[in-house]
Chains A and B, each alone.
Chain A
């Protein structure tokens, strides 16, 4: 009779345990008393022993997986049994319930044309955070969801990675989606009045029904979130950037009333052609033009020299949805100084959309010489960004806010937008940075100059 090994209750209060490490594999012989796995509990990491002699026929729960006490985690074949027969007869290995742990990036959709790149060569000019190539990493699990549940979630804009599946193996089924929809409807209705208090963002914030207040009595799901190689690489590069580049910040506030007016006029005229310019599009152009007057902003640290680049390629930071692994990538708009607003706008939209769906190619992510990160659409006032190597600077843009401002010695209502440069002090000093911002401000506050 084969023996089912279940997650043991290693402490009184233990309800779930994580298999940190299996010390045995399928086919290994064990004796009573052997420590076969390291289990992490609510209190500590402890060894799990087997109490019988036999052979490990099947491992049902892999490393890194959290399960409830009592869940079968392995099957032991006794001395007179054939482990392979026992393995064949036992249930297939448990795949992690995806709603309990964030699914690793890009597991559901086939990767785009992006080649399978692990960590890029650090000396290459490819930007750091942009190496989030949309390739399923080792250990990425497929979300378990029924076809109709997926379709309903898509139709109603519900984020399936936030759902707890009640079907077999944690499968998300129709009632889970309908439940989230109902819950979202109730809380969204309650949230609506406060939405009006948010400052004017550059693009309107849509309240996702899934971003609801959790029902009373519900706890967070503890567990380990496996990170893809891409995400680990981004992490490494961010630390490298922040710790090796001497960062400092310079902030400026723009009067964006002229820009908002110009944008409105242009969008009205171009609506029929399907063009909708965003504030960020103007900023991309503005930065590209300002860089021409301040070439250190188009440079890279080269150890014993500073390399000034010929092309002005502006990188734009794009936030990825959880299904694509979360985090952010930088899409590159090449030669932004030589392209018009309309072209920049179309390119920015196209790249952002592609990044969120099929993922970007290495080419689309590489080669930026300056990066813009914009959190204005989320209503953020002001923030600082981490330089995207090998750039020399990054511009962090906040929301255009309606404030009481001073114009011509009078207090009036106006719109102002904060922008903060993070700079590499080895390449750009404070005075240079200030001058760049003066140029940028000239352009932004006289936006007609961005059109020529």
Chain B
């Protein structure tokens, strides 16, 4: 039985179900307990699980990220919330040096089954320091997994998988998607990592993306369909592990590829995917892979400027027209 719930509810359900299922799981972060969550994601969880499992922290990302890593090393399964992934930069040493490398550095003695989650990307006039897209920065590091859900269904299914996964998982949500409603089954389900989903089948051009920009991709696909260009939109779902095979299958069919990545262009996830597609699909491409990113500038505060900076529908349409020689 599926019900319509919000993305934020789907996140809460995932955490709550996993916490009921496994007593080692706990949630920690700024405002997660008493305040019901800075964005109301963890509403009611303090009442259900108590203060030992839903824990408010001081404003000290390094401290509570490190605390979580230590707990994970000792056998617990923490979910650490960053109010925004922008704030994770403060804890970079913990989350990049300790979490993903712990298994390696300890010679297999200590794992780190931790989930770091929070809002990633432009939140709407939050300014340049609070609008970070961290995927391109962090995806470079070996030892971590990275998931980025598109809708409520994936939010729940991917978060459950993340909590059950023994690797450290960076779970990238979006403040702009928290209110998005979607159908989510009541029954137990998970969404596996490394399995992309075709959100819109097509034959004319492959468009690959993750997270919020997929909404722009689907809007662009509708516009382009009127022009006779039939886009196939692929939701990668997890950046690490990447489901390259799904992308390759699509590009072999369409011969054209556009990658839409909300982070900045240089040394980005988009660049990585383009490089992998060029290699795997060299003989199937009629044109090089075109990338759409946020403009290579700090996120503006001004509403209109921010909208223009993002990998928006207009830019995606232009990219698809260009790559298919319909510009």
Identify the A interface with B (CB < 8 A). 146-151, 166-167, 173-175
B282 sits at the interface (CB 8 A): yes
Whether the pair A148, B285 counts as a contact (CB closer than 8 A) is yes
Whether the pair A148, B283 counts as a contact (CB closer than 8 A) is yes
How many residues on B have C-beta within 8 angstroms of the other chain's C-beta atoms?
8
B287 sits at the interface (CB 8 A): yes
Whether the pair A167, B283 counts as a contact (CB closer than 8 A) is no
Identify the B interface with A (CB < 8 A). 255, 282-287, 325
Of A147, A148, A173, the contact of B325 (CB 8 Å cutoff): A173
Chain B residue with the shortest CB-CB distance to A177: B286
Whether the pair A174, B283 counts as a contact (CB closer than 8 A) is no
Whether the pair A167, B282 counts as a contact (CB closer than 8 A) is no
Determine the distance from Cα of A174 to Cα of B205 in the docked complex, in whole angstroms: 13
B231 CB, min distance to chain A CBs, angstroms: 17
In the assembled complex, which residues on chain B have CB atoms less than 8 Å from the CB atom of A147?
282-286
In the assembled complex, which residues on chain A have CB atoms less than 8 Å from the CB atom of B285?
146-148
Q: 26 A-B residue contacts at CB 8 Å?
A: A146-B285, A146-B286, A146-B287, A147-B282, A147-B283, A147-B284, A147-B285, A147-B286, A148-B255, A148-B283, A148-B284, A148-B285, A148-B286, A149-B286, A150-B283, A151-B283, A151-B284, A166-B325, A167-B287, A167-B325, A173-B286, A173-B287, A173-B325, A174-B255, A174-B286, A175-B325
A155 CB, min distance to chain B CBs, angstroms: 11
Q: What are the 5 tightest A-B residue pairs by CB atom distance, in nearest-first order? A: A174-B286, A146-B286, A147-B283, A148-B286, A148-B255
In the assembled complex, which residues on chain B have CB atoms less than 8 Å from the CB atom of A175?
325
Chain B residue with the shortest CB-CB distance to A172: B286
Chain B residue with the shortest CB-CB distance to A168: B325
Determine the distance from Cα of A150 to Cα of B285 in the docked complex, in whole angstroms: 10
Determine the distance from Cα of A174 to Cα of B285 in the docked complex, in whole angstroms: 9
In the assembled complex, which residues on chain A have CB atoms less than 8 Å from the CB atom of B255?
148, 174
B229 CB, min distance to chain A CBs, angstroms: 13
Determine the distance from Cα of A174 to Cα of B286 in the docked complex, in whole angstroms: 6
In the assembled complex, which residues on chain A have CB atoms less than 8 Å from the CB atom of B325?
166-167, 173, 175
B247 CB, min distance to chain A CBs, angstroms: 16
In the assembled complex, which residues on chain A have CB atoms less than 8 Å from the CB atom of B282?
147
Determine the distance from Cα of A148 to Cα of B325 in the docked complex, in whole angstroms: 14
Determine the distance from Cα of A147 to Cα of B284 in the docked complex, in whole angstroms: 6
A23 CB, min distance to chain B CBs, angstroms: 37
A59 CB, min distance to chain B CBs, angstroms: 27
In the assembled complex, which residues on chain B have CB atoms less than 8 Å from the CB atom of A149?
286
A180 CB, min distance to chain B CBs, angstroms: 15
* Apart from A167-B325, A173-B287: 20 A-B pairs, beta carbons within 8 A: A146-B285, A146-B286, A146-B287, A147-B282, A147-B283, A147-B284, A147-B285, A147-B286, A148-B255, A148-B283, A148-B286, A149-B286, A150-B283, A151-B283, A166-B325, A167-B287, A173-B286, A173-B325, A174-B255, A175-B325
Chain B residue with the shortest CB-CB distance to A147: B283
Determine the distance from Cα of A175 to Cα of B228 in the docked complex, in whole angstroms: 15
B227 CB, min distance to chain A CBs, angstroms: 16
